[in-house]
């Protein structure tokens, strides 16, 4: 079978033979043929992998591919070193030395060209050899059917869920500590997650924590407190006893549910149990029989599925809903679920394998059934392990490195998918040859993750973004065990748990990045050049996340770097040499601290795809400003016009960045921008390539056509407006298609008349709304949220509405609201009666309201019944 790293080798060759070949050997037939050969090799490897082709000669071909890839990297490094030497500024002595060395440089240039032609020749020979062994290439790609569902069937635990849910809701039984135990793979976490998210418990204060084997009680208790009470502030110096008392006090008089998942040792529970009073529901999810002991009021031991349940689960995952010949597969399907030990995890994973089988379905099911014959007489753990091994072996070669990379992340971590995609790209795991029409590499990466999810290898969490399908992903603990063992077996990379051995290993790695295991940190790379080591130390690095206050100059020599992050650094000025990294794809400049000084050179980074600027930047001027001349001119603003491949652009500000350059960036997909004038706003919304737009608008006319056009822009997902005013007719009236994808809106200190709620309540996808400022609704005394208004709203904040006297919420209005904040609306007479109908309202915070208002909603007050169902309810200071 094709080795998992083959795709990485192809990407290195792609950098040379697609991106640089015309510069090195000129436009020629051999250059064009080299590009075609790359595509042919990719298709042939896909074909070999699909057919499970395995032979010693194929392994030899992969070795040849690796050698060519290594040579290509050396050529790229030498080529760019020569280019930098030719282009560098020099004084007279340096120029003289340059002339002395000119013959040597010419020889080096000639050698680069000869080496490039040798690589082209080697690639041609490899292509011919693969064609002879595998036949002609096919047009097969990694494209996954869009009809494939990620909604896994919930089978076999319906009665378990009903029983456990009734335990939580039964308030007559006193303290309810329930231990849910059983071996890994039975579906314990899936069952509890279903209960945790049940609509009947939306009014409960809830917290969910996962316990790592290196249990840290303070961190776990702090997380429980913050989830139960999002308003709480946890001081760094707060001890375990303080946290226990705070949790106890909070849940003492509230309906609550706390889930402690994957707890291994009883001493962890011994520390935490004092935090939970008699009325608190606690679920302990564990494999261990010893956890909980006599403290558990109920022991719920999860068992395996029945054969009928196992068959329902298997066909629900492996077969499309419209499959018409289920009965022909039932017999063999039932054999498969029995061989899986009737374990939900094993059945799900086998279902994922079967889902991706092509050709004769019955024949493929028989093959899988045959492969399970070896596990009929082994224990459950070995049975599951064997099934997971099969799932890994069944992965296409291009997915294997993507899956193995997940071993870098800590157990139970929710991995942010956007970051993961960029890391995969930087490592060379995402194939350019898999891009479809109008697709980006991020789209391909999302397709790869989708396939891993449908194969039941990865658990994904869907998000609210219209641009990306998923918000995060994670591995089941047994999948992580498999992943880590395969990393060691295939030697794709090495997991380093001890910082002291970093520099003995770093010269042999492709990336150097702290991902949370064992305290590995970039603080080992300090601000001095000597800590980076020799020029050869990191020469092949693809990823660097820097910590320190000054970026060392040798970082500029990392020609092959794809991903540079200053996220956790204290860098104050970005050196010019950053533009000398020709293959950089992601530049993350959101460093800690105040203003970051930037040279105006980023526009030269032609292959940059993702740029994250800090909120406050200062463009370094070529000339010092004259006295009194402090405003940045358009010419001195940060240029963007050369970034033709840029897809993500975050935190630009029209005061410091040339926003009009966005019109030239036709690859742009995701933008976050702050604008201070109508011309900048108009320029951004004119760029039709953008599919996700987050805007902060300052000092603009809310009644202008430009603002209306922005609201009609389908790419707009978030809008914040500050100190804006209405010059004309008023805030735009709602029209069909307006704000169709806006999920977040923030209007502060704006001069707006009339009931904004009337128009904003018609925005179909709005999740969060913040209205603040004396001028917002300044003439409005009554505001009404109708029965169908704000259908998706989850969070609402009302600050400083001085004239608002009555606020009405009709039944059916804001049905999904979970958090409500009301601050300094001094004339508001009472809380809306309609809040009693919002069963999912979990948090109500009242800040500095009139004493009349607060007395009505306190316990015993005439409006207390309206808010008594809300688990987190605070009143902060009467204003008068």
pLDDT given for residue 504 in this prediction: 34
Per-residue pLDDT at 749 = 84
Range 606-627 average pLDDT? 80
The stretch 449-463 carries a mean pLDDT of 92
Higher-scoring residue by pLDDT: 40, 846: 846
| pLDDT at residue 53 in the model | 61
pLDDT at position 537 is: 43
Q: Tell me what the mean pLDDT of segment 157-175 comes to.
A: 82
For 818, the token pair is 């979970």
Average pLDDT on 193-218 reads 86
413 Rama class: left (phi>0) / alpha (psi -120 to 50) / beta: beta
DSSP 812-866: TSSTT--EEEEE--TT--S--GGGGG-TT--EEEEES--HHHHHHHSTTSTTHHH
- Measure the CA–CA gap between 161 and 165, rounded to whole angstroms: 6
Lowest mean pLDDT among 203-212, 507-516, 603-612, 720-729: 507-516
Quickly tell me which residue has 């991020």 as its tokens: 442
- CATH of 173-301, picked from 3.30.1300.30, 3.40.50.300, 3.50.50.60, 3.40.190.10, is 3.40.50.300
With tokens 């998992």, the residue in question is 4
pLDDT classification of 229: cutoffs 50, 70, 90: confident
d(Cα 841, Cα 834) in Å, to the nearest integer? Answer: 12
744 touches 718 (CB < 8 A)? yes
Q: For residues 379 and 245, what is the distance between their CA atoms, to the nearest angstrom?
A: 44
For residue range 790-830, what is the model confidence (pLDDT) as tens digits?
999 999 999 988 888 999 999 999 999 999 999 999 899 99
Using alpha carbons only, give the angle 292, 294, 297 rounded to the nearest 5 degrees: 85
Q: Where are the beta strands (DSSP E) in 492-585?
A: 511-512, 543-545, 563-565
pLDDT of residue 223: 92
Mean predicted confidence (pLDDT) in 476-492 = 86
Phi then psi for residue 51, to 5 deg, are -85, 5
Residue 728 has a pLDDT of: 58
Give Cβ neighbours of residue 853 (< 8 Å, ≥ 6 apart): 828, 829, 830, 831, 846
pLDDT at 397: 83
DSSP symbols for 53-111: ---HHHHHHHHHHHHHHHHHHHHHHHHHHHHHHHHS---HHHHHHHHHTHHHHHHHHHH
State yes or no: pLDDT of 92 exceeds 80: no
The Cα–Cα gap between 572 and 595 comes to 7
**Model confidence band, residue 777 (pLDDT cutoffs 50, 70, 90):** low
Q: Spelled out in words, what is the top-level CATH class assigned to the domain 307-393?
A: mainly alpha
The pLDDT value given to residue 268 = 79
Over residues 32-60, the mean pLDDT reads 74
Better pLDDT: 750 or 246: 246
- What is the share, in percent, of the chain residues with pLDDT greater than 70? 82
Measured CA to CA in angstroms, residue 406 lies from 12, 349, 428, 452 at distances of 22, 17, 15, 11
Token code pair at residue 179: 């231990």
Mean pLDDT for all residues in the chain: 82
CA 200 to each of CA 193, 411, 839: distance values in angstroms, whole numbers, following the listed order: 13, 30, 8
pLDDT tens figures, 103-143: 455 556 677 777 877 887 887 888 888 788 777 655 555 54
What order do you get walking across the sheet with 470-474 strand by strand? 415-416, 470-474, 459-462
pLDDT for 5: 66
Largest CA distance in the chain: 94
In whole angstroms, give the CA distance from residue 867 to residue 822.
Answer: 13
Q: Is a pLDDT exceeding 90 seen at residue 855?
A: yes
Using pLDDT thresholds of 50, 70 and 90, give the confidence band for residue 542.
confident
- Phi-psi region for residue 206, left (φ > 0), alpha (ψ -120 to 50) or beta? beta
Q: Please give the average per-residue pLDDT across 692-720, as a whole number.
A: 92
Distance CA 750, CA 156 (A): 55
Lowest mean pLDDT among 277-281, 645-649, 668-672, 778-782: 778-782
**DSSP per residue over 126-180, as a string?**
HHHHHHHHH-S---------TT--------S-HHHHHHHHHHHH-TTS--EEEEE
Q: What pLDDT is stored for residue 27 in this prediction?
A: 54
Percent of the chain topping pLDDT 90: 40
Q: What local confidence, expressed as pLDDT, does residue 519 receive?
A: 29
Classify domain 400-490 by CATH architecture.
Orthogonal Bundle (1.10)
**181-190, 317-326, 524-533, 805-814: which range is least confident on average?**
524-533
- Report whether 639 contacts 658 (CB < 8 A): yes
Beta pairing class for 806-809 and 843-847: unpaired
**Among the ranges given (93-97, 182-186, 317-321, 462-466), the one the predictor scored with the smallest mean pLDDT:** 93-97
773 pLDDT exceeds 50?
yes
Show the DSSP H helices in 687-820 as ranges. 705-711, 756-760
pTM of the model: 0.83
- pLDDT confidence bin for 527, thresholds 50/70/90: very low
Rg (C-alpha) for the chain, rounded Å, is 30
Q: pLDDT confidence of 149, banded at 50, 70, 90? A: low
Query: Mean pLDDT lowest for which of 107-111, 153-157, 580-584?
Result: 107-111
Q: Is residue 152 within 8 Å of residue 348, measured between CB atoms?
A: yes
Tracing tokens 């994957």 back to the chain, one arrives at 262
Closest CA to 311 of 282, 275, 335: 335
């Amino acid at each position: 079978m094709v080795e998992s790293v083959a795709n990485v080798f192809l990407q290195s060759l792609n950098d040379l033979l697609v991106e640089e070949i015309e510069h090195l050997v000129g436009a020629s037939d051999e250059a064009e043929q080299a590009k075609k050969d790359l595509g042919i090799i990719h298709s042939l490897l896909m074909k070999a992998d699909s057919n499970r082709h395995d032979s010693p000669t194929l392994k030899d071909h992969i070795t040849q591919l690796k050698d060519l890839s290594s040579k290509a990297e050396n050529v790229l490094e030498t080529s760019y070193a020569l280019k930098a030497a030719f282009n560098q500024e020099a004084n007279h002595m340096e120029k003289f030395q340059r002339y002395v060395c000119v013959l040597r440089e010419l020889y080096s240039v000639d050698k680069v060209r000869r080496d490039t032609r040798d690589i082209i020749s080697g690639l041609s020979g490899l292509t011919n050899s693969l064609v002879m062994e595998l036949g002609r290439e096919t047009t097969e790609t990694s494209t996954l059917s869009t009809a494939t569902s990620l909604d896994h069937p919930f089978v076999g635990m319906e009665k378990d869920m009903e029983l456990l849910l009734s335990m939580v809701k039964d308030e007559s039984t006193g303290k309810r500590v329930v231990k849910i135990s059983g071996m890994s793979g039975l579906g314990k976490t899936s069952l509890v997650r279903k209960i945790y998210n049940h609509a009947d418990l939306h009014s409960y204060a809830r917290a969910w924590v996962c316990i790592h084997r290196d249990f840290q009680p303070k961190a776990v208790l702090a997380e429980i407190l913050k989830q139960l009470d999002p308003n709480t502030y946890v001081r760094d110096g707060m001890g375990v006893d303080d946290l226990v008392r705070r949790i106890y006090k909070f849940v003492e008089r509230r309906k609550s549910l706390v889930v402690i998942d994957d707890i291994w040792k009883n001493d962890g529970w011994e520390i935490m149990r004092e935090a939970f009073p008699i009325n608190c529901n606690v679920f302990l999810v564990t494999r261990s029989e010893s956890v909980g002991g006599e403290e558990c009021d109920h022991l719920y031991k999860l068992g395996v599925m029945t054969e009928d349940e196992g068959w329902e689960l298997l066909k629900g995952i492996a077969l499309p809903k419209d499959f018409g010949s289920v009965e022909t597969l039932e017999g063999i399907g039932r054999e498969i679920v029995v061989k899986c030990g009737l374990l939900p995890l094993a059945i799900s994973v086998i279902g994922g394998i079967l889902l991706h089988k092509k050709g004769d379905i019955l024949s493929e099911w028989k093959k899988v059934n045959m492969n399970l014959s070896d596990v009929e007489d082994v224990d459950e753990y070995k049975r599951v392990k064997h099934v997971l091994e099969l799932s890994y072996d069944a992965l296409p070669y291009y997915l294997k490195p993507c899956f193995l990379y997940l071993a870098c992340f800590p157990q139970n971590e929710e991995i942010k998918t956007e970051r993961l995609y960029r890391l995969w790209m930087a490592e060379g795991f995402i194939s350019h040859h898999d891009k479809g029409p109008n697709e980006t590499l991020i789209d391909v990466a999302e397709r790869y993750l989708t396939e891993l999810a449908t194969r039941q290898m990865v658990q994904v969490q869907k998000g609210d973004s219209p641009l990306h399908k998923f918000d995060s992903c994670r591995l089941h603990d047994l999948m992580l065990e498999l992943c880590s063992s395969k990393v060691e077996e295939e030697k794709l990379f090495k997991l380093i748990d001890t910082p002291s051995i970093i520099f003995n290993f770093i010269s042999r790695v492709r990336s150097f990045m702290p991902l949370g295991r064992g305290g590995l940190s970039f603080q080992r790379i300090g601000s001095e050049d000597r800590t980076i080591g020799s020029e050869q130390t990191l020469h092949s690095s693809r990823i660097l996340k820097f910590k320190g206050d000054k970026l060392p100059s040798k970082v500029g020599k990392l020609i092959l770097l794809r991903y540079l992050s200053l996220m956790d650094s204290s860098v104050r000025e970005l050196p010019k040499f950053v533009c000398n990294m020709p293959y950089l794809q992601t530049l993350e400049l959101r460093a800690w601290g105040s203003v970051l000084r930037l040279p105006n050179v980023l526009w030269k980074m032609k292959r940059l795809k993702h740029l994250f600027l800090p909120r406050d930047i200062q463009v370094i001027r070529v000339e010092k400003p004259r006295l009194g001349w402090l405003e940045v001119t358009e010419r001195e603003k940060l240029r963007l016009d050369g970034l033709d491949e840029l897809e993500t652009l975050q935190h630009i500000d029209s005061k410091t960045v040339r926003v009009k350059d966005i019109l030239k960036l036709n690859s742009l997909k995701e933008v976050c921008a702050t604008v201070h004038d109508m011309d900048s706003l108009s320029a951004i919304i004119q760029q039709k390539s953008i599919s996700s737009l987050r805007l902060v608008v300052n000092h603009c006319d809310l009644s202008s056509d430009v603002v209306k056009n922005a609201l009609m822009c389908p790419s707009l997902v978030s809008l914040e407006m500050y100190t804006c005013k209405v010059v004309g007719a008023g805030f735009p009236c709602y029209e069909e298609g307006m704000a169709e994808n806006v999920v977040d809106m923030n209007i502060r200190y704006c001069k707006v008349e009339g009931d904004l709620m009337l128009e904003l309540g018609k925005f179909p996808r709005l999740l969060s709304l913040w209205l603040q400022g004396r001028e917002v609704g300044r003439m409005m005394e009554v505001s009404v949220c109708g029965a169908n208004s704000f259908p998706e709203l989850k969070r609402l904040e009302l600050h400083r509405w001085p004239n608002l006297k009555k606020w009405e919420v009709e039944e059916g209005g804001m049905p999904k609201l979970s958090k409500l904040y009301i601050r300094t609306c001094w004339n508001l007479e009472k809380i809306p009666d309609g809040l009693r109908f919002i069963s999912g309202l979990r948090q109500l915070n009242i800040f500095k309201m009139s004493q009349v208002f607060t007395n009505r909603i306190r316990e015993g007050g005439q409006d207390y019944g309206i808010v008594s169902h809300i688990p987190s309810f605070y009143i902060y200071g009467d204003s008068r």
